[in-house]
Each structure stands twice: as C-alpha cells, then as structure tokens.
Amino acid sequence: MSFSNLDLHSLGIADWGYTENSEPMTWDHYENWLDNDGHGPLGYLADHRKDLRKSLKNYYPEFQSALVFIFPFFDDKKRIEDFYQSTESNDLKMASYLFAYSGVDYHHAIKEKLLKVKEQLSETHPNIKMKLSLDTQPVLERDLAYRAGLGWFGKNSMFISKHWGSFFMIGSLLLDQKLDIESKQVETDHCGQCQACIIDCPTLAINENTRTIEASKCISTYTIELFKDAPAPKGMESASGEIFGCDICQDVCPWSKRVFRENLTFNKTKTLHPQEELLINFFLKRPKEEILKELDTMSNRSYQKMFRGTPVERTGRIGMIKNIKFWLEK
C-alpha cells in the first residue's frame, strides 16, 4: 500500500499509522476514570455512547483495519505565541488550535482532508468501504493512534508524538478491508520522571496517580464546555488569561518544547486567514471591558452569525461572557 500519488504534506498530515486492532488497549483505564467521575460535567463521555467505544465494531460493524493520521499545528502555535509577546496583546489567551486549520472548527477542516485521502484510497481499492472518525464519534481516538504506533499517553493524558510533540489533532479512516501495510510497534512511555505538566497545572487538574485529567478542575472544561455562568476551578486565577481552552500542560512538556527548541516547521506561513483575524481582533487585542460590553449588547443570533464555523461558536455568547468576566473580576 502506498500513498505515493497523494501529497500527504499538502493535506497537513505529518505522520500516519495502521492497525487492525478493533479494541482499545486502555479500555479499563478509561472505564475506571468514568467510574471515579473523572469526566465531571462531560456527561457525553459516560452516556449510552460509552460502551460503543469498547470496540470499533460497535461503531462500524464492518471494521477490519484503520488508517490513523496526525494533523499538526505547532507552526500556528508559534505564531500565536509571538502575538502574545507583542504589545498588541491584551493578555487574554485562547488555545492555539483555534488558529490552525484557517481558523475554522478543526472538525470541518480535518474532515475535508480525510475525504481527500478517502478518494485517493478508493482509486486503488475501488471496492473498499470506509468511515471517517474524529473525536465526535464514539471512538477512543487517542487509543486508536496508540494502537497504530504513533505515540504514547502523557501524564496529562494528552497523546504525545516523539517527533511532533502534542500540538496536533488525530483523524482516522476505518476500513472494511485489511491492507498490505506493516503496523508500527506500540510506542513506549517516554515521560520518565518528568512532572512538569502536573506541577504547572494551576488548577491541579492532573491526577498524578492515574495520569488522568479531573475534568471538573480543567480550565478547558470550564472555558469551552460550560455554556452558562458557573464557578471557575480553584487556582484558575493564577493561570495566564485563558478564555477558551488551555495549553499550559502542553507548553511545559519537554517533547512539545523540543519542537520549538529545534525550530521544527511543517507548514509555516505568516498569512492569517479571515477567521483567525476575526478571533484575534475581537478577543485578543481590545480592552476586556470593550469586549464584554459588545458581547452584553449582542444577541445570541448575532454572535452565532459572527463566529459561525469557528470553535468559539460552540461555547456561545453567554459562555464567552462568563470566561471574560472571570479575568475582569478576579
């Protein structure tokens, strides 16, 4: 099997792997996390879809194999970090993935890229059937990448690649046929004695013993998943102005820092897309009071229209008001 006729780099794919294993290797770990309420307010992880995740065949009965792809965005991470160091920054921050994939919701962007891979594979395997998998399907996508030999689970539960760090998304194609591809060996744990992510998490959301995130303490949970007014997790006041998502545990990871230290690039560009400019100009340049005033006077419909297709559409106007108010009132 070869992707020789397809420029994977042009599709934003840095690495890929193959597996025929339909069952997660970390299922017991995941189930224990749920049983101990580690998912907190993220009820969709423990509802009727929970058991579907126990095997890919529960989601796609015809499953025989999977191709798993890494879509990095560390170049975009570098660009937004440079902005935060500039005089234009208002000291508010958003997770770096918002400024990847042209500023649109990564689900849409990666789906388009996977469809192009699917088209190419169909040309060489006309009878093959495929199903796309992102983090919206009942699939443990990080475990799938683990089975495909693309990396390991860090102590912060993020999936880490030895070469690309953790600033990437995972997308997969589930196939109804086995391919003539040699599977990579499952990656060993390379975290060693490092505790940087555990120590630097301002809300102490990382459980050192289980190497999991306590979602109710996580800044990303609070700023993305809680759409109404709610108390912030203890310790958030010592964070760095996060109003949508959080990169702290990735920022301090030696494997992610290596990407920046060695000045690795993948798809370096200095051109900002309109959606990225919108997010930066609206949320990250203006005084906090000005942003809050505009959100207060804006209708929900106007907010949805302005930010349609971007990640912040998910949290909504009320959720973003909650997030910005925190940094005004702390």
Identify the active-site residue in 37, 75, 91, 135.
Answer: 135
Q: What is the pLDDT of residue 270?
A: 62
Cβ-Cβ contacts under 8 Å for 16 (sequence gap 6 or more): 3, 8, 67, 68, 69, 70, 148, 150
Nearest Cα to Cα of residue 311 among 74, 135, 138: 135
Evaluate whether residue 3 is within a structural domain.
no
Please give the average per-residue pLDDT across 160-181, as a whole number: 96
Confidence at 268, pLDDT banded by 50, 70, 90: low
Q: Residue 233 has what DSSP assignment? A: P
| Pairing, β 242-244 against β 93-94 | parallel
Please give the average per-residue pLDDT across 151-157, as a whole number: 97
Spell out the SS3 assignment of 156-198: CCCEEECCCECCEEEEEEEECCCCCCCCCCCCCCCCCCCCHHH
H or E element, residue 244: strand 242-244
Q: What is the pLDDT of residue 260?
A: 83
CA 133, chain centre distance (Å) = 14
Query: Hey, which residues does 292 pair with through a beta bridge?
Result: none
Evaluate whether residue 2 is within a structural domain.
no
Q: What is the pLDDT of residue 51?
A: 95
Model confidence at 1: pLDDT above 60: no
Least confident of 75-79, 110-114, 191-195, 320-324: 75-79
Query: What domain count does the chain have?
Result: 1
Q: What is the pLDDT of residue 222?
A: 98
Cβ-Cβ contacts under 8 Å for 271 (sequence gap 6 or more): none
What is the rounded distance in angstroms from the CA atom of residue 106 to the CA atom of residue 284?
Answer: 20
Q: What is the pLDDT of residue 103?
A: 87
Q: What is the per-residue burial (b if ≥16 Cβ within 10 Å, else e) of 119-140?
A: ebbeeeeeebebbbbbeebbbb
Mean confidence (pLDDT) of the chain: 94
Model confidence at 143: pLDDT above 80: yes
Q: What is the pLDDT of residue 2?
A: 57
Least confident of 106-115, 267-276, 315-324: 267-276
Report the percentage of the chain scoring pLDDT > 90: 86
Model confidence, pTM: 0.94
Q: What is the pLDDT of residue 3?
A: 58
Evaluate whether residue 1 is within a structural domain.
no
Model confidence at 315: pLDDT above 90: yes
Number of H helices, E strands in the chain: 13, 10
Q: At what angle do helices 288-297 and 312-329 cross, to 10 degrees?
A: 130
- Model confidence over 14-60: pLDDT tens digits? 999 999 999 999 999 999 999 999 999 999 999 999 999 999 999 99
- Model confidence over 214-234: pLDDT tens digits? 999 999 999 999 999 899 999
**Burial (0-12, 13-18, 19+ Cβ within 10 Å), 263:** exposed
Residue 308, token pair as written in the block: 């349609």
Nearest Cα to Cα of residue 283 among 303, 262, 263: 303
Residue 296 appears among annotated catalytic residues: no
Q: What is the pLDDT of residue 306?
A: 97
Nearest Cα to Cα of residue 68 among 176, 171, 142: 171
By residue range, what is the domain housing residue 135? 9-329
Evaluate whether residue 4 is within a structural domain.
no
